[in-house]
């Protein structure tokens, strides 16, 4: 993606595409997978690059010795994910990923490392003794996720057989969906965050004040 | 003729790019705009450093620099040469890679923010639907670079400065976003171009800028406070205060890297002022209808420089806030007022045009300001000192 | 009300900013070295030696009594007394300093040498732009470099000079009157005696 898609007039969604109502099944980001699957394109250069960045960041996050370096490599993995979202034209998801993950979660992870003793280099190296069990579990998780992704891509309905342009999901549509269809998850997440905030305040509060 | 002047940069770019083959044109067009931004804003930064030093000097009953060039305008050249030729000292126990990357991440993240600002009619680099969100995403990345700088220096004072800076930036990020959300609510779009278009109407010759509405004025003031805190400007410059922490998180940086931090801070100031003018001051629209013949980019940059002058004015006036005063102010005053501002904006929209929206919204906001001032900003009465010993 | 102080402060700085273009008390900068503030009369930097008349060597008031050398706290004065004598302002033959060096890199401008000098020979200068290219060698001033005419002293310290000049003139008048009385007495004795005495020689090194 070396230039924003809005410059390409032939890729802009037409009114017909938007009226099909593609907020049907699945996460808005996976709607792009439908188009890719229909067109059976080889993986584009952009996708390969972003995937490489994400995988490299993830690998570095587990293989580096210095924990803060690992946290920064994790930030690179987040950035790679955000670029993948943007490649799929999910603007809101991509920017929210940067804003929330890189802007807040990465900082949180780094603070947590600094305020505990995780910032010291581990003496026995980074590889654990139970690496075989870890490998089995990782393979299992990968298999489940891969099955879920491939199954959902084939199962999504699409209009006719002709490849359609990727419909862009605007922020307004996401907002509408959050308030109408997904209002319960929204409220539960709000409640969870409030509970977390109150918990944080209590944990950080002065001991004598809490005892009062 | 004035429409030509208004669009002159766009037309120049199109004519320049027209020489290239068709498949290269979108890339080239973006590249030309990027190069222009990369050249223009650092030049503006150089001008601003002189302006700031002379302005602060006049406020403090003295002349600013006046030896390098007439009225000191070549001072940034001298400063630039000094920064570039100074020895680049990296502490031996510092984390080399992270130490090197921190100023780069800062400058890159800040430059990205300029991509969505509409600097004139049809003059935004990229017209994104979620432009505002993109801008704030880039702003959030600057916090990471501050932290990287402080941690990689292996200096406890730098780390302390970085922690304070990050805490300050995170605390004030929430009011910044929420005061912008009020604008988004009224406009109905996250795209900055549409926000300016919505303000480009006139009633009886006066513009529909959002700052002239009660919720807009309150939002603008809180946006300004949050923007001053986000860019670590006085009076919120504790993390980099020279008398407090040497130079805070950029203590261990010398020469060009320090110049990059300096550049990053001022560019962040420009981009956040640019966003403020886009959201509240009408972006590139003229203040009066009879003045709309003046090119739009002149209005944008005048408003930007006016915001910079106000920043300099504030710096010369106010003493520095302590860390706890800063945080109290954010969480106990600015944040509740921003949330109330959201409610008032919704009320404004709900009441519809007429006198009711003006009277009720202004009354609620004024009342809330007085109430919050008494409740939230009550002076803390510290009891006898409590000691906490290690167990 | 919250925010009132900020607004008042902003108004004050705005007044400062605007006023600095018009009024002098809002812009107190003196652009040295193009503009200079005149030193006050009691300013003191480093000592100088005063001479009367046009010849610095003959008119120098210093008689090498070495009191200032002994009283100087950091011992920055070095005096070598001459072997012969020369007549001073009052006509009396006095020693004079063959060498009079002040090391101004050591001098602390305490003015004790001025206070103790009985002959009003050493006074404080007000010039401070005395830096040199080498480290210490040029900062050792000899008596030629330290000599200044009385006219200069009157310029830089008018009141002091007035007092000093009045005192010296009074002394001179007294010594003139004494000499005249002595001359009259000898003249009276001479008229009583057979051989007339020649008139006393005119006093050398007179006045300004």
Asked if B143's CB is within 8 angstroms of A95's CB, the reply is: no
Classify B206 as helix, strand or coil: strand
**Residues B188, B94: one domain?**
yes
Give the pLDDT band (50/70/90) at residue B23.
confident
Asked if C21's CB is within 8 angstroms of B63's CB, the reply is: no
What crossing angle do the helices spanning A106-115 and B156-187 adopt, rounded to 10°?
Answer: 150
Give the pLDDT band (50/70/90) at residue C77.
very high
Please state the length of chain A.
212
Angstrom distance (rounded) from CA B258 to CA B110: 16
The residues spanned by each domain of chain A are 27-127, 170-212
Q: Of B55, B84, B113, which one is at a domain's C-terminal end? A: B84
Confirm whether C27 is domain-assigned: no
The answer, yes or no, to whether A and C have at least 3 beta-carbon pairs within 8 Å is: no
**Residues B158, B33: one domain?**
no
8 Å CB contact between B326 and B370: no
Angstrom distance (rounded) from CA B215 to CA B182: 8
Angstrom distance (rounded) from CA C53 to CA C161: 15
Q: Chain A contact for B371, CB < 8 A?
A: no
CA end-to-end span of chain C, whole Å?
73
Instruction: Give me the pLDDT at residue A75, please.
Output: 93
Smallest Cβ distance to A72: which of B98, B133, B189? B98
Give the pLDDT band (50/70/90) at residue C29.
confident
Averaged pLDDT, A191-211: 81
Give the pLDDT band (50/70/90) at residue A30.
very low
Closest residue of chain A to B101, computed from CA coordinates: A72
Confirm whether C206 is domain-assigned: no
Query: Is a pLDDT exceeding 70 seen at residue C207?
Result: no
Asked if A107's CB is within 8 angstroms of B151's CB, the reply is: no
Which residues, 6 or more positions from A169, have their beta carbon under 8 angstroms from its beta carbon? A22, A23, A28, A31, A89, A90, A92
Instruction: Give me the pLDDT at residue C205, please.
Output: 45
DSSP assigned state of A23: -
Instruction: Give me the pLDDT at residue A158, please.
Output: 53
Q: In what order do the strands lie in the sheet with C77-81?
A: C77-81, C97-103, C140-141
Interface test with C, best of B53, B59, B236 (most C CBs within 10 A): B59
**Residues B103, B69: one domain?**
no
∠ CA A95-B303-B128 to the nearest 5 degrees?
A: 25
Query: Is a pLDDT exceeding 90 seen at residue B355?
Result: no
Size of interface B-C (CB pairs under 8 A): 43
Q: Which residues of B touch A96 (CB under 8 A)?
A: 133, 137
**What confidence tens digit (pLDDT) does each residue in B191-207 have?**
999 999 999 888 877 78
What is this model's ipTM? 0.83
Residue A177 in tokens = 């969906």
Confirm whether B25 is domain-assigned: yes
Asked if C1's CB is within 8 angstroms of B370's CB, the reply is: yes
Interface test with A, best of B127, B180, B190, B346 (most A CBs within 10 A): B190
Q: Which residues of A touch B151 (CB under 8 A)?
A: 68, 110, 114
Q: Chain B contact for A155, CB < 8 A?
A: no
Classify B302 as helix, strand or coil: helix
Residue B70 in tokens = 């007439």
Instruction: Give me the pLDDT at residue B226, please.
Output: 95
DSSP assigned state of B88: -
Classify C60 as helix, strand or coil: strand
Instruction: Give me the pLDDT at residue A119, please.
Output: 57
**Residues facing C102 on adjacent strands:** C77, C141
Nearest chain C Cα distance for residue B57, angstroms: 9
Interface test with A, best of B140, B166, B195 (most A CBs within 10 A): B140
Cα–Cα nearest to B50, from B68, B33, B30: B68
Asked if B317's CB is within 8 angstroms of C13's CB, the reply is: yes
**Residues B236, B309: one domain?**
yes
Peptide bond just before B215 cis, omega within 30 deg: no
The reported pTM is 0.81
Burial of C179 per CB tally in 10 Å (0-12, 13-18, 19+): middle
Asked if B26's CB is within 8 angstroms of A7's CB, the reply is: yes
Residue with token string 């992270």: B98
**Cα separation values, B205 from B71, B228, B287, B293, C178, Å:** 39, 32, 9, 14, 100
Number of domains in chain C: 1
Chain B: list its partners (3+ Cβ pairs within 8 Å): A, C
Residue A192 has a CB neighbour count (10 Å cut-off) of 10
Query: Is a pLDDT exceeding 70 seen at residue A117?
Result: no
Q: In what order do the strands lie in the sheet with C147-149?
A: C122-124, C47-51, C147-149
Chain A: list its partners (3+ Cβ pairs within 8 Å): B
Number of domains in chain B: 2
B121: phi then psi, degrees, rounded to nearest 5: -65, 130
What crossing angle do the helices spanning A106-115 and B131-152 adopt, rounded to 10°?
Answer: 20
Nearest chain C Cα distance for residue B43, angstroms: 25
**Cα separation values, B300 from B7, B128, B179, B198, Å:** 14, 19, 21, 16
Cα–Cα nearest to B59, from C15, C9, C22: C15
Q: Chain A contact for B112, CB < 8 A?
A: no
Asked if A171's CB is within 8 angstroms of B133's CB, the reply is: yes
Instruction: Give me the pLDDT at residue B111, please.
Output: 94
Confirm whether C65 is domain-assigned: yes
Q: What is the CATH number of the domain that holds C108?
A: 3.30.70.3270
Give the pLDDT band (50/70/90) at residue A122.
low
**Residues B189, B217: one domain?**
yes
8 Å CB contact between C97 and C80: yes
Averaged pLDDT, B335-349: 93
Size of interface A-B (CB pairs under 8 A): 81
**Cα separation values, B294 from A199, B3, B5, B26, C182, Å:** 56, 9, 9, 29, 100
**What confidence tens digit (pLDDT) does each residue in A76-109 have?**
999 999 999 988 888 888 999 999 999 889 988 8
Indicate the average pLDDT of chain C. Answer: 87
Give the pLDDT band (50/70/90) at residue A19.
very low
DSSP assigned state of C77: E
**Cα separation values, B312 from B235, B281, C13, Å:** 11, 19, 11
Angstrom distance (rounded) from CA C111 to CA B237: 48
Classify C123 as helix, strand or coil: strand
Averaged pLDDT, A191-212: 80
Confirm whether B113 is domain-assigned: yes
CA atoms within 13 A on the CB side of B38: 10
Burial of B69 per CB tally in 10 Å (0-12, 13-18, 19+): middle
**What confidence tens digit (pLDDT) does each residue in B262-299 have?**
899 999 999 999 999 999 998 898 888 888 888 999 99
Confirm whether C37 is domain-assigned: no
Interface test with A, best of B99, B115, B129 (most A CBs within 10 A): B129
**Cα separation values, A154 from A35, A40, A72, A147, A158, Å:** 11, 12, 36, 11, 10
**What confidence tens digit (pLDDT) does each residue in B84-137 have?**
899 888 888 888 888 999 999 999 999 999 999 999 888 888 888 889 999 999
Averaged pLDDT, B355-374: 89
Please state the length of chain C.
208
Pairing of strands C147-149, C47-51: parallel
**What confidence tens digit (pLDDT) does each residue in B134-190 have?**
999 998 888 888 888 888 888 888 888 888 888 899 999 999 999 999 999 999 888
Instruction: List b or e across B240-267, with b for residues whose CB sees 16 or more CB atoms inside 10 angstroms.
Output: bbeebbebbbbbbbeebbbbbbbbbbbb
8 Å CB contact between A79 and A53: yes
Angstrom distance (rounded) from CA B99 to CA B147: 10
Q: Which residues of B touch A206 (CB under 8 A)?
A: 386
**Residues B78, B111: one domain?**
no
Q: Which residues of A touch B147 (CB under 8 A)?
A: 107, 110
Averaged pLDDT, B57-77: 90
8 Å CB contact between B213 and B281: no
Asked if A7's CB is within 8 angstroms of B144's CB, the reply is: no
Peptide bond just before B235 cis, omega within 30 deg: yes
**Residues B96, B44: one domain?**
no
Angstrom distance (rounded) from CA B163 to CA B151: 9
Angstrom distance (rounded) from CA B169 to CA B153: 20
Domain extent for B241:
86-376
Cα–Cα nearest to A85, from A73, A100, A97, A76: A97
Interface test with B, best of A1, A2, A3, A169 (most B CBs within 10 A): A3
Instruction: Give me the pLDDT at residue B104, please.
Output: 92
Residue B380 has a CB neighbour count (10 Å cut-off) of 9
**What confidence tens digit (pLDDT) does each residue in C127-177 have?**
999 889 998 999 999 999 999 999 999 999 999 999 999 999 998 899 889
Q: Of B58, B84, B110, which one is at a domain's C-terminal end? A: B84
**Residues B63, B182: one domain?**
no
Q: Chain A contact for B170, CB < 8 A?
A: yes
Confirm whether B383 is domain-assigned: no
Angstrom distance (rounded) from CA C17 to CA C15: 5
**Residues B238, B249: one domain?**
yes
∠ CA B62-B66-B70 to the nearest 5 degrees?
A: 140
Confirm whether B390 is domain-assigned: no
**Residues B59, B106: one domain?**
no
Q: Of B54, B84, B114, which one is at a domain's C-terminal end? A: B84
Instruction: Give me the pLDDT at residue A156, please.
Output: 56
Confirm whether B388 is domain-assigned: no
Angstrom distance (rounded) from CA C121 to CA C59: 10
Angstrom distance (rounded) from CA B90 to CA B99: 8
CATH architecture of A27-127: Up-down Bundle (1.20)
Cα A81 to its chain centre, rounded Å, is: 6
Q: Which helix (H) or strand (E) holds C152?
A: helix C150-156
Asked if B373's CB is within 8 angstroms of C1's CB, the reply is: yes
Indicate the average pLDDT of chain B. Answer: 88
Confirm whether C112 is domain-assigned: yes
The full DSSP string for A109-156 is HHHHHHHTGGGSPPTT-S--TTHHHHHHHHHHHHHHHHHHHHHHHHHS
Domain extent for C102:
47-157
Closest residue of chain B to C21, computed from CA coordinates: B58
Cα–Cα nearest to B124, from B13, B261, B287: B13
């Amino acid at each position: 993606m070396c230039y924003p898609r809005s410059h390409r007039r032939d890729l802009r969604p037409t009114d017909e595409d938007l009226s099909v109502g593609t907020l049907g099944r699945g996460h808005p980001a996976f709607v792009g997978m439908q188009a890719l699957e229909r067109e059976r394109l080889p993986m584009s250069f952009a996708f390969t690059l972003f995937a490489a960045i994400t995988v490299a960041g993830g690998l570095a996050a587990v293989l580096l010795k210095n924990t803060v370096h690992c946290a920064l490599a994790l930030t690179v993995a987040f950035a790679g994910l955000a670029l993948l979202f943007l490649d799929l034209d999910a603007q809101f998801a991509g920017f929210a990923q940067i804003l929330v993950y890189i802007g807040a979660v990465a900082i949180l992870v780094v603070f947590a490392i600094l305020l505990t003793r995780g910032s010291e280099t581990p003496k026995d190296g980074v590889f654990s003794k139970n690496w075989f069990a870890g490998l089995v579990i990782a393979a299992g998780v990968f298999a489940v996720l891969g099955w879920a992704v491939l199954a959902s891509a084939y199962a999504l309905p699409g209009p006719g057989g002709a490849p359609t342009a990727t419909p862009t999901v605007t922020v307004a549509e996401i907002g509408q969906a959050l308030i109408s269809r997904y209002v319960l998850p929204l409220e539960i997440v709000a409640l969870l965050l409030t509970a977390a905030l109150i918990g944080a305040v209590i944990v950080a509060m002065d001991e004598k004040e809490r005892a009062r | 003729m004035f429409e030509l002047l208004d669009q002159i940069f766009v037309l120049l770019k199109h004519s320049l790019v027209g020489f290239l083959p068709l498949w290269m044109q979108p890339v080239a067009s973006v590249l030309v705009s990027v190069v222009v931004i990369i050249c223009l804003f650092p030049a503006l930064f150089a001008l601003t450093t002189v302006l700031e030093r002379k302005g602060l000097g006049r406020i403090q009953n003295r002349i600013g620099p006046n030896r390098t060039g007439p009225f000191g305008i070549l001072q940034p050249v001298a400063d630039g040469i000094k920064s570039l030729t100074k020895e680049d000292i990296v502490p031996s126990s510092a984390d080399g890679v992270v130490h090197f990357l921190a100023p780069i991440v800062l400058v890159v993240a800040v430059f990205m923010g300029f991509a969505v600002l509409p600097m004139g009619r049809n003059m935004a680099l990229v017209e994104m639907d979620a432009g505002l969100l993109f801008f704030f995403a880039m702003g959030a990345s600057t916090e990471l670079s501050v932290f990287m700088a402080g941690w990689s220096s292996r200096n406890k004072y730098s780390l302390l400065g970085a922690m304070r800076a990050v805490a300050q930036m995170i605390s004030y990020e929430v009011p910044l976003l929420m005061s912008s959300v009020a604008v988004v609510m009224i406009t109905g779009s996250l795209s900055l171009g549409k926000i300016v278009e919505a303000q480009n109407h006139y009633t009886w010759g006066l513009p529909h800028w959002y700052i002239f509405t009660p919720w807009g004025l309150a939002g603008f003031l809180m946006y300004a406070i949050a923007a001053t805190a986000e860019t670590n400007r006085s009076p919120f410059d504790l993390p980099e205060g020279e008398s407090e922490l040497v130079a805070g998180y950029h203590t261990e940086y010398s020469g060009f890297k320090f110049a990059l931090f300096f550049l990053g801070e001022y560019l962040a100031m420009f981009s956040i002022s640019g966003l403020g003018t886009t959201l509240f001051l009408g972006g590139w629209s003229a203040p009066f209808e009879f003045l709309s013949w003046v090119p739009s980019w002149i209005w944008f940059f005048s408003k930007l420089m006016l915001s910079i002058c106000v920043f300099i004015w504030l710096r010369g006036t106010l003493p520095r806030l302590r860390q706890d005063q800063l945080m109290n102010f954010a969480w106990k005053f600015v944040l509740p007022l921003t949330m109330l501002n959201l409610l008032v904006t919704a009320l404004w929209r709900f009441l519809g045009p007429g006198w009711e929206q003006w009277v009720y919204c202004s009354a609620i906001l004024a009342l809330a300001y007085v109430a919050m001032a008494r409740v939230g900003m009550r002076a803390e009465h510290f009891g006898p000192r409590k000691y906490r010993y290690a167990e | 009300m919250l925010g009132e102080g900020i607004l008042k402060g902003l108004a004050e700085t705005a007044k400062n900013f605007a006023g600095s273009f018009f009024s002098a008390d809002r812009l107190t900068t003196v652009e040295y070295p193009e503009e200079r503030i005149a030193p006050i009369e009691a300013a003191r930097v480093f000592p100088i030696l005063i001479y009367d008349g046009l010849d610095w060597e003959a008119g120098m008031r210093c008689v090498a009594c070495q009191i200032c050398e002994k009283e100087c706290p950091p011992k920055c004065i070095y005096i070598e007394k001459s072997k012969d004598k020369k007549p001073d302002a009052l006509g009396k033959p006095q020693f004079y300093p063959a060498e009079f060096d002040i090391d101004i890199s050591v001098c602390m401008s305490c003015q004790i040498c001025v206070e103790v000098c009985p002959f009003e020979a050493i006074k404080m200068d007000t010039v401070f732009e005395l830096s040199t290219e080498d480290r210490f060698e040029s900062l050792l001033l000899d008596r030629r470099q330290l000599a200044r005419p009385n006219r200069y002293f009157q310029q830089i310290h008018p009141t002091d000079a007035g007092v000093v000049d009045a005192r010296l003139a009074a002394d001179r008048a007294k010594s003139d009157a004494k000499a005249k009385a002595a001359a009259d007495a000898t003249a009276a004795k001479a008229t009583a005696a057979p051989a007339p005495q020649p008139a006393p020689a005119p006093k050398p090194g007179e006045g300004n």
